[in-house]
Amino acid sequence: MISYTGLIEILKEKGHTKTDLTKELGISSRTIAKIGHGEKIADNVLKKIASFLECEVNSLYRNITDNPLLQILRDEKSIRLSGGLYHELQIRMTYNSNHIEGSKLSEDQTRMIFETNTINVGDGVPVDDVIETVNHFRAIDFVIDNAEKTLTEDIIKRLHYILKQSTRDSSLEWFAVGDYKKRANVVGGRETAKPKEVHSKIINLLTKYESLKSVTIDDIIQFHYDFERIHPFQDGNGRVGRLIAFKECLRFGIVPFIIEDSKKMFYYRGLSMWETEKGYLRGTCLDGQDTFKKLLSMFDINL
Annotated binding site for ATP: 235-242, 267-268
- How far CA 4 is from CA of 26, 120, 265, in Å, comes to 24, 32, 40
Binding residues: 235-242, 267-268
Q: Report how far residue 156's alpha carbon sits from residue 149's, in angstroms, rounded to the nearest whole number.
A: 12
Taking the alpha carbons at both ends of the chain, their separation in whole angstroms is 28
Burial of 58-96, coded b for 16+ CB within 10 Å and e otherwise, reads bbbbbbeeebebbebbbbbbbeeeeebbbbbbbbbbbbb
Q: Report how far residue 67's alpha carbon sits from residue 145's, in angstroms, rounded to the nearest whole number.
A: 13
The alpha-helical segments, DSSP class H, found in 103-194 are: 107-116, 127-146, 153-164
- How far CA 107 is from CA of 131, 218, 257, in Å, comes to 15, 29, 18
- Is the dihedral angle over the CA atoms 53, 56, 62, 65 positive or is it negative? positive
In eight-state DSSP terms, residue 179 is S
CA atoms within 13 A on the CB side of 266: 15
Smallest CA-to-CA distance from 180 within 147, 246, 164, 267 is with 164
- Residue 201, φ and ψ in degrees, nearest 5: -70, -40
142 membership: H or E segment, kind and range: helix 127-146
> 231 catalytic, yes or no?
yes
Q: Report how far residue 85's alpha carbon sits from residue 82's, in angstroms, rounded to the nearest whole number.
A: 9
Active-site position among 99, 136, 160, 231: 231
**Positions marked catalytic:** 231
